[in-house]
Amino acid sequence: MSSTTTTQTTGRARTWSVTEHLEDILGTVRALEPIELQLLDAQGCVLVEDITVSLSLPPFDNSSMDGYAVRTADVEGASEEFPAVLTVVGDAAAGQAEQYTVGAGEAVRIMTGAPLPPGAEAVVPVEWTDGGTGGGPAAGMNPHSAAPEGASGEVRVHRPAPARAHVRDKGSDVRPGDLALKAGTVLGPPQIALLAAIGRGTVRVHPRPRVVVISTGSELIQPDEVLAPGQIYDSNSFAMTAAARDAGAIAYRVGAVSDDAEELRSTIEDSLIRADLIITTGGVSVGAYDVVKEALAHVGDEDEPGSGVEFRTLAMQPGKPQGFGTIGSEHTPLLALPGNPVSSYVSFELFVRPAIRALAGLPDLHRPTVRAQLVLDKAVTSPAGRRQFLRARHNEGTATLVGGSGSHLIAALAHADALVVIPEDVTSVEPGAEVEVVLLG
């Protein structure tokens, strides 16, 4: 944490802006130590090394067509009326061990991708020949297994071919020493294809962050159980787990822990072994049962420099109470989010998602934002000095609010695809005003 974060967990602490809190988080969280992963396990990860090519691609001159490998002099002037008649000495198929040489007056029947045989200078596509049938132009070859005689006999070539026609040159794609991919590249399917093609079965990347999600609250029960009076269903642990995965993490849902500091403390300590980041929800406000605050004063090794979680009042709505810090000997970052489902979701988008992406070493930490015109029946108010985030639907340059501003309106959240940002110094927004919109994508 930055040296300015000296406020404590109780008392009239200063209020943090959204920007300050985010800067503190991103100033603390570092990209995870690189590890060597199998190619497909590295999908979506960020490369930490420049990848230099050590072979040529293609590794050898090869045919780009199914046809016949020939000497150009032998097919000079060939036509359908006056074909060049060549002796087929064998097949060149991709991956075949035997190799034939093309002498004067000879041809090798060759398949796409097969090495150009010694002596051959060009390939004529099978459609430019009689395919060895003695008839008219061929449409293709018969399967070798059914008609092995196609690899011998005579072929009539109907058109000439210049040198290197239908030949892919060795090294025309990449050559030894070429830079295939730069450190910092995100490995999507085409990048994985290139790595496989140049023979790299493993790569060094920042691994996907492992995120442990713990919701807190004695009132929480699991979906499909029967609600007793005063109970509600735990939704935050599901929402945060799904959102963490969506941000690129491997997420572990611990689920709901009751408002007992000792139980929470031990759950958090047990989670450290598998966590690159811990998220808690609930228990961060000013109440007498706000157990996350209570528990985190004693987690892990607080003598380690940089350890400790700080609880803050943020100048935002929803999401005013927030906790952030690092715990344990590994200084594992922990974000303690408020318990209202909408508050925790907005907090995730603003703070946790960028933290996960920073741990992954990804270049784009933030959701895209656009300007849009706010569609409203009447003006909406916003508290002075707090940045408000309203749930909205974005469509072609406009944003329409869904649901109200209550932080428990989870039904409305499920129909939103954007957050409308009302700055701290704005207390009322008129219909048609231009606003900043975060696209939740």
CB nearer to its own copies: give 73 or 147: 147
Candidates 7, 408, 426, 436: give the one binding its own copies (CB under 8 A). 408
Single residue of 164, 170, 200, 393 touching its own copies by CB under 8 A? 200
Among residues 49, 80, 144, 250, which is the contact residue for its own copies, using CB under 8 A?
144
Shortest distance, CB of residue 250 to its own copies, whole angstroms? Answer: 13
Write the binding mask 258 to 297 for its own copies: x where contact by CB under 8 A, - elsewhere. Answer: xx-x-----------------------xxxxxxx-xx---
CB nearer to its own copies: pick between 266 and 285:
285
Residues 20-39 that bind its own copies (CB under 8 A): 39
- Residues of this chain, 154-173, that bind its own copies according to CB under 8 A: 168, 172-173
**68 vs 324 by CB, closer to its own copies:** 68
Q: Which is nearer to its own copies, 106 or 234 (CB)?
A: 234
Beta partners for residue 401, in sequence order? 392
Q: Which residues of 214-224 are buried (b: 16+ CB within 10 A; e: fewer)?
A: bbbbebbbeee
Report the residue number, 28 or 191, with the smaller CB distance to its own copies: 191
Q: Which is nearest to 109 in space by CA: 143, 82, 58?
A: 143
Radius of gyration of the chain (CA): 33
Establish if 190 lies at the interface with its own copies (CB under 8 A). yes
By C-beta, is 267 or 407 nearer to its own copies? 407
Q: How far is the CB of 296 from its own copies (least distance, A)?
A: 12
DSSP 174: B
One of 195, 264, 275, 352 touching its own copies (CB under 8 A): 195
Return the residues of window 322-361 that contact its own copies according to CB under 8 A. 339-341, 345
Judged by CB under 8 A, does residue 246 bind its own copies?
Answer: yes
In the three-class reduction of DSSP (H, G, I as helix; E, B as strand; rest coil), residue 357 is classed as: helix
310 binds its own copies (CB under 8 A): no
d(CA 149, CA 90): 9
Which residue lies nearer to its own copies by CB, 185 or 271?
Answer: 185
| Shortest Å distance, C-beta 137 to its own copies | 10
Using CB under 8 A, which residues numbered 203 to 222 contact its own copies? 217-220, 222
* Closest separation in Å from C-beta 118 to its own copies: 12
The structure tokens listed for 248 are 């690129």
The reply to whether 201 sits near its own copies by the rule CB under 8 A is yes
Residue window 357-386: x/- pattern of binding to its own copies, with contact defined by CB under 8 A: ------------------------------
Minimum CB separation from its own copies for residue 332, in Å?
23
List the beta bridge partners of residue 370.
Answer: 437
Residue 201 Cβ, how far from its own copies at the closest point, in Å?
3
Task: Give the binding range for its own copies (CB under 8 A) out of 50-58, 156-164, 267-275, 364-372.
Answer: 50-58
Label the pairing between strands 46-47 and 202-206: antiparallel
Q: Interaction with its own copies in 89-128: which residues (CB under 8 A)?
A: 91, 93-97, 99, 109, 111-115, 126-127
Q: Which is nearer to its own copies, 211 or 331 (CB)?
A: 211
Amino acid at 249: A
Q: Between 140 and 305, whose beta carbon lies closer to its own copies? A: 140
- Cβ distance to its own copies smaller for residue 206 or 293: 293
